[in-house]
Structure 1
């Protein structure tokens, strides 16, 4: 008897269509391994939330060794798809989730050292003996009165502005059809880097408070990566009980280029224009209207008061 049956939520639009290729490889490999599985395809934006909710009502259960075959939830898609699924399951941290990366950035996979090669990711699911707890950030957005669980990071300022600009690009849909969706983000970077203005931002932890008048990019992160593999905080880990904060101050264009080089070489945290600290509890106040994103999903362009703490949930990794 199989140890589990796989219930795979599939977003074929993830990664500008890359998930379709991942799905083909996945199905062929599971058939070769004689693994029982069922697929559930998203048909519109946000459909993964309803699929997950329906599975929660009918199939999904907390992890236990005695149930065989165990009904294991698997997400095949990008970070955005996984973000929506875990937020449906906020109150069910002991229902394990497995993940097959099918997006374009796949930063969460990088953050937990999960292979982006499909067969290797599946092997990790098949060979794992039991689920493992992984830290996430629980964030309460006061003005919006909304709680979100964060896999990767919260971004305020530049990175969120880039995501919003790319999402509203007239060419994004066309580029996605050509599987060149990343080019829309590259174009957005050039458009936004000089346009993004400095903004005030404050941080309060259990031990101390910080205020900065020249905020440019703020990343509250659970692991090193954002933007498709850029290590904004090389020291962060979802297995350490700490939230990492990186604030980049507004500088001139030449300094931006120099900082970008240092970020790519992972030597940026010692720059005088970058402020870095870690904590277990955090309150962030951004009083001016700024774009914010959570795991690449735009929250809006507003002022924010965000309370953050760590929480854990089970992943089948």
Structure 2
């Protein structure tokens, strides 16, 4: 049987951009006589369900599994592929943040992304690291993350941005990444920092007045911010950025520098790196994984070296 692509489309991604982009991609695939099977998501978590079902049923005949959507869509697809990570994963950007495409150096144009996918050869493939997150330390089932995990202020930003009406409005004009900035500015006036304990490869740290802890597999975050400028998805490490003891006034300065990675020079920013990370706090603190709300602390994180192949 001829191998085919499995394509999972989030039609609502980017406020409808997902469906529009898919129409063009579909026409191109048909023109080239490329075998594929396509599926639309209908609810949050559906991309994970579809990926799980399809790779289980067709893993022997699957050429690759492609996500058409945003960072949340590719996050779900990756999590649906547990036990089948040998199948290559492709991505056609249609979201607002699109950090996955930036971090893995994938084409942003749908046409170029499709050409990249169709020209892929397993013999020239490269495997990348994944992160694994387990809320409640060891008591809960783990999830994968390809980009990053944000704990604290940015976890709340992700949560409130995903719930905000202006995200859809900005997506209509192709300015979806600004929705994070709007939420960030609004929340910065009311958010209360917290204390936490952090353990990186067995070494313990204690921080007071923490705004956020970002654990990153790639350098990009929240729509292009370079939260961990040295993070690479092929080094077998996770990079950690802790922002603490920072005044609200200086917080705005940090936001102005983070898009260039210059925040790392501030004394209120601590950069760490390791393979095994745990975060505990006196009160539950919101966190996100690849921009999707992922529960609260405590949490354990670790890297899975060379776990998946990105087309």
TM-score by length of 2: 0.90
In structure 2, the residue matched to 1:100 is 92
Residue number in structure 1 paired with 2:32 = 33
Does residue 315 in structure 1 map to residue 309 in structure 2? yes
Q: Assess, with a 3 A threshold, how the Cα gap between structure 1 residues 239 and 309 changes in structure 2: closer, same or farther.
A: closer
| Consecutive unaligned residues in structure 2, runs of 5 or more | none
What is the RMSD computed on CA atoms of the aligned residues? 2.3
Match of 2:133 in 1: 139
Counterpart in the other structure of 1:258: 253
| TM-score, structure 1 normalization | 0.88
1:72 aligns with 2:72: no
The aligned residue for residue 117 of structure 2 is 125
Cα separation, partners in 2 of 1:205 and 1:275, compared to 1, 3 Å = same
**1:48–1:81 Cα contact (<8 Å) kept:** yes
Q: Does 2:243 align with 1:248?
A: yes
> How far apart are 1:167 and its partner, in Å?
2.8
The alpha-carbon deviation at position 50 of structure 1 amounts to 2.4
Give distance in 1, aligned partners of 2:134 and 2:292: 15
1:85 and 2:80 equivalent? Answer: no
- The correspondence of residues 151-230 of structure 1 with structure 2, limited to 5 A, is 151-169=146-164, 172=167, 182=177, 184-206=179-201, 208-230=203-225
| Contact 2:155/2:288 (<8 A) preserved | yes
Provide the secondary structure at the position in 1 that maps to 2:142.
Answer: strand
**Maintained 8 Å contact 1:16/1:180:** no
Supply the distance in 2 between the matched residues of 1:173 and 1:272 (Cα, whole angstroms).
37
How far is 1:235 from its partner? 0.7
1:41-84 Cα shifts (integer Å, max 9, x gaps)? 112222222222221232123xxxxxxx7532211111111111
Report the Cα offset of residue 160 of structure 1.
Answer: 1.1
Distance 1:256 1:41 in 2: 40
Question: How far, CA to CA, are the matches of 1:229 and 1:184 in structure 2?
Answer: 12
Whole-Å separation in 2 of the counterparts to 1:173 and 1:15 = 7
Secondary structure of residue in 1 paired with 2:14: helix
Residue equivalent to 1:297: 292
> How far did 1:177 drift?
6.7
Q: In structure 1, what is the equivalent of residue 53 of structure 2? A: 54
Give me the whole-angstrom Cα distance separating, in 1, the residues matched to 2:166 and 2:217: 32
What is the match of residue 9 of structure 2?
Answer: 10
276, 279, 288: which one pairs with 2:283? 288
Matches of 2:172 and 2:144 in 1, distance apart?
31
Aligned equivalents of 2:135, 2:305: Cα separation in 1 = 16
Instruction: Give the conservation status (yes or no) of the 8 Å contact 1:203–1:209.
Output: yes
Cα separation, 1, equivalents of 2:112 and 2:172: 27
Q: Is the 8 A contact 1:60 1:72 kept in 2?
A: no
- Aligned-residue offset at 1:108: 0.9
Shift of residue 316, structure 1, vs aligned partner: 4.1
User: Where does the alignment leave 5 or more consecutive residues of structure 1 unmatched?
Assistant: 62-68
CA contact (8 A) 1:16 1:179 kept: no
Following superposition, the deviation at residue 174 of structure 1 comes to: 6.1
The question of whether the paired residues in 2 share the 8 Å contact of 1:138 and 1:311 is answered with: no
